[in-house]
Chains A and B, each alone.
Chain A
Amino acid sequence: GAGVSQTPSNKVTEKGKYVELRCDPISGHTALYWYRQSLGQGPEFLIYFQGTGAADDSGLPNDRFFAVRPEGSVSTLKIQRTERGDSAVYLCASSLDPGGPPYNEQFFGPGTRLTVL
């Protein structure tokens, strides 16, 4: 597709369960970012990939959160032992590379709305 896609669009789970959220970046984009947006707030950075490696995971809230990008394209955000506080919209963005403009413009996907009951 032309843009960043994310699946599922909505995910409802129970406290304590494991979830995976998928992001398909724009083809050819080497940089991939995950953000989390709580209700009424701006998105908050979680993790950044350059190629296959997590170059910056300083935004992950705790060790229940993990993300991979094994082939440098699709990325999966994994949340273990979900808690009600994890409920939010999880946004993925990609850019051509992390360098200067215009290549650092981030294109966002529609997000996955996660609800933990």
Chain B
Amino acid sequence: AQKVTQAQTEISVVEKEDVTLDCVYETRDTTYYLFWYKQPPSGELVFLIRRNSFDEQNEISGRYSWNFQKSTSSFNFTITASQVVDSAVYFCALSEAQGNNRLAFGKGNQVVVIP
């Protein structure tokens, strides 16, 4: 069974600070995909990044970076030099190749960037 845990609920940061969101997942599948989605106040879910289970290389994309560690089943996400427009709820999600790719979401992290 898929399970995603985002322990932090609300995180407040001052603009230009970095913010890291923690995500821990559970799966029995050997092939799976991890995602981060952003949900701004408008409500629409916006895809940010995806990682495959067989690729642990960590990358940076603009102000976003992620740290995927299979050994600890973690997929943490960092926003560098936060901006007010980053204020939103961020969801970590998992899909399994054998599960029709349905997404299992965590409860989300409410990020508030204070100007």
Contact = CB atoms under 8 A, between A and B. Distances in A.
Interface of A: 31, 33, 35, 40-45, 48, 50, 55-56, 59, 89, 91, 93, 95, 98-102, 104-111
A89 B52 CA distance: 29
A56 B52 contact: no
B50 A98 contact: no
Nearest to B95: A104
Given A43-B45, A45-B103, A108-B44, A101 B108 contact: no
Given A101-B50, A104-B95, A56 B102 contact: yes
Contacts, number: 64
9 contacts: A42-B106, A42-B107, A43-B45, A44-B105, A91-B45, A104-B33, A108-B45, A109-B44, A110-B44
Interface of B: 4, 33, 37, 42-47, 50, 52, 91, 93, 95, 97, 99-108
A33 B103 contact: yes
Contacts of A43: 45, 91, 103, 105
Contact of B100 (A40, A98, A107, A108): A98
A83 to B, nearest CB: 23
B47 A50 contact: no
Contacts of A110: 42-44
Contact of B108 (A42, A100, A107, A109): A42
Given A55-B100, A105-B50, 15 more contacts: A33-B103, A35-B103, A41-B107, A42-B4, A42-B105, A45-B104, A48-B100, A50-B100, A59-B102, A99-B101, A104-B95, A104-B101, A108-B44, A108-B45, A110-B44
